[in-house]
Amino acid sequence: MASSSTTGSRHCCFLLALPLLSSTAHGQLSPTFYAATRCSALDRIVRDEVSRALFRDPPPLGGPRMGASLRLFFHDCFVQGCDAAVLLDVDPTKGILLGEKDAGPNANSLRGFEVVDSIQSKVEAACPGVVSCADILALATREAVVALNGSTWPLLLGRLDSRTANQSQANSDLPSPGSDIDTLIAAFARKGFTAPELVALSGAHTIGLARCVNVDQSQMQRCRVPTTDSGLMAALDDQTPEEFDSHYYDKLGKRGLSRSDRVLTSRGDLDALVRKYSASQAAFFADFASAMKKMSEVGVLTGAHGEVRANCRRVN
Ligand code: HEM
Ligand SMILES: *[C@@H]1O[C@H](CO)[C@@H](O)[C@H](O)[C@H]1NC(C)=O
Ligand SMILES: *[C@@H]1O[C@H](CO)[C@@H](O)[C@H](O)[C@H]1NC(C)=O
């Protein structure tokens, strides 16, 4: 489909990729990494594909639920950094023996892989070999939140994609829904986040669904949202499950779907923050935005150990 135009643009961007490689060798993310000639179509492609994906299916599968790419990004960044390793399929010929996507917290749960694939194939046609899957995931996540009328944040770009995945780190470092507050604080501290940032980031649960196995006993009556792929599920935010807003925080200690949501109110200073976000969506949006920007920079690859994958699911 896009093939007729690729020869010319490949020629153009191959040359332009040389300064790109040398700048990544210095290990710098930059706000203007793909500016103008490198890939001027990038922002538009990501925006169009994300809104197409978000609003293709009716709720609960479409719309907000596809904003669940938020979770994909979180689970990428918390495991050896925002390096798109979570996208890699098992491929023994490339040394990928176990996938992060098959780890306990991810298997039969993470969504949005095809959305990343479709964005990447369009970006690849427009700007071959230039834009990493890790950057696409960072951009798509932000655009999903924007499309849902949530907050926005500035992104630095120039991440490279990993040539490895680490399933055991996915199993050890991704927080589990049965966690108590100290365990959650420690899991986020390991990645450089403060306890207040844990509270702000948990507001991502303003959208999306959970499987009943992850639901607190006290909330089991909420496991009644039918889905075609996972049976009955429960809305993480039972008041406005379709809106990116701050109602997740309302009476969170009672209403939180999982233990990990409920315990955010169990420490006085954090409970004060929960109440602040519940009262002020603007306060939540501002703190969520800065914490997401920070998340987008966790452990990024910019040196010799990364690459720009031609296919997000496979090492080159
Ligand atoms: C604080 C620690 C966290 C824990 C323990 C946790 C746990 C979970 C669990 C168990 C689910 C349901 C998954 C399923 O049943 O398939 C879920 C869903 C979700 N989580 Fe979290 N989460 C946490 C933080 C975050 C953060 C920081 C983000 C993003 C910034 C996030 C984004 C999401 C989204 C969007 C969904 C909905 C997914 C969907 O509808 O498919 N979570 N989370
Ligand atoms: C976002 O806001 C616009 C303008 O108010 C509205 O038309 C649109 O339906 C909203 N989108 C979502 C997903 O809530
Ligand atoms: C995978 O992660 C674990 C736990 O963080 C770490 O001990 C191990 O060295 C990592 N393996 C590789 C190959 O990086």
Structural domain includes residue 290: yes
> Whose C-alpha lies nearest to ligand 2, atom 1?
149
The alpha carbon of residue 70 and the mean position of all alpha carbons in its chain are separated, in whole angstroms, by: 4
The CA distances from residue 78 to 62, 73, 246, 316, in Å, are: 25, 9, 24, 23
Structural domain includes residue 313: no
Distance CA 46, CA 51 (A): 9
Q: Which of 57, 71, 201, 287 to mutate to test the pocket of ligand 1 (most atoms within 8 A of CB)?
A: 71
pLDDT band at 63 (very low <50, low <70, confident <90, very high): low
Helices assigned H by DSSP within the chain: 6-25, 42-56, 69-77, 113-126, 133-147, 167-173, 181-190, 195-202, 252-255, 259-262, 268-279, 281-295
74 vs 68, more confident: 74
Beta bridge partners of 160: 301
pLDDT in tens, 278-300: 999 999 999 999 999 999 999 99
The count of domains in the chain is: 1
Instruction: Find the 245 Cα to ligand 2 centroid distance in Å.
Output: 12
pLDDT in tens, 86-112: 999 999 999 999 999 999 999 999 999
Q: How far apart are the first and last CA of the chain?
A: 23
Q: Which residues are annotated as a binding site for Ca(2+)?
A: 76, 79, 81, 83, 100, 206, 237, 240, 245
Q: What is the mean pLDDT of residues 25-48?
A: 83
Beta bridge partners of 157: 30
CA of 207, nearest ligand number: 1
Task: Say if ligand 1 is within 6 A of residue 222 CB.
Answer: no
Looking at residue 249, what is its pLDDT? Answer: 98
In what order do the strands lie in the sheet containing 231-235? 209-211, 231-235, 225-227
What's the half-sphere exposure (Cβ side, CA atoms, 13 Å) at 280?
Answer: 10
Backbone angles phi, psi at 232, to 5 degrees: -75, 140
pLDDT band at 69 (very low <50, low <70, confident <90, very high): confident
Mean pLDDT is lowest, of 45-49, 163-167, 240-244, for 240-244
The alpha carbon of residue 186 and the mean position of all alpha carbons in its chain are separated, in whole angstroms, by: 20
pLDDT in tens, 9-30: 333 333 343 444 433 344 589 9
The CA distances from residue 293 to 8, 13, 82, in Å, are: 35, 28, 12
- Which CATH number goes with the domain that contains 242? 1.10.520.10
Beta bridge partners of 9: none
- Are the beta carbons of 281 and 203 closer than 8 angstroms? no
pLDDT over 90 (residue 72): yes
Distance CA 171, CA 185 (A): 17
Q: Which residues are annotated as a binding site?
A: 76, 79, 81, 83, 100, 175, 205-206, 237, 240, 245
Q: What is the mean pLDDT of residues 65-79?
A: 87
Looking at residue 15, what is its pLDDT? Answer: 38
Domain span holding position 172: 5-305
Q: What is the mean pLDDT of residues 177-185?
A: 98
Structural domain includes residue 316: no
Q: Which residues are annotated as a binding site for heme b?
A: 205
Structural domain includes residue 199: yes
Active-site annotation holds for 305: no
Distance CA 218, CA 253 (A): 12
pLDDT in tens, 223-271: 999 888 788 999 999 999 889 999 999 999 999 999 999 999 999 999 9
- Are the beta carbons of 309 and 128 closer than 8 angstroms? no
Cβ neighbours around 114 below 10 Å, total: 9
The residue with tokens 């920007």 is 293
Distance CA 290, CA 66 (A): 22
- Are the beta carbons of 112 and 73 closer than 8 angstroms? no
Task: Say if ligand 1 is within 6 A of residue 51 CB.
Answer: no
Structural domain includes residue 310: no
* Catalytic-labelled residue, pool 11, 75, 247, 305: 75
Cβ neighbours around 307 below 10 Å, total: 16
8 vs 227, more confident: 227
| Contacts of residue 68, Cβ cutoff 8 Å, sequence gap at least 6 | 111, 112, 207, 208
Instruction: Tell me the pLDDT of the chain averaged across its residues.
Output: 89
Cβ neighbours around 271 below 10 Å, total: 15
Looking at residue 10, what is its pLDDT? Answer: 33
Structural domain includes residue 37: yes
Instruction: Find the 143 Cα to ligand 2 centroid distance in Å.
Output: 14
> Whose C-alpha lies nearest to ligand 2, atom 6?
149
Percent of the chain's residues with pLDDT above 90: 77
Structural domain includes residue 311: no
Ligand 1 atom at minimum distance from 67 CA: 35
- Are the beta carbons of 35 and 169 closer than 8 angstroms? no
CA of 206, nearest ligand number: 1
Task: Say if ligand 1 is within 6 A of residue 184 CB.
Answer: yes
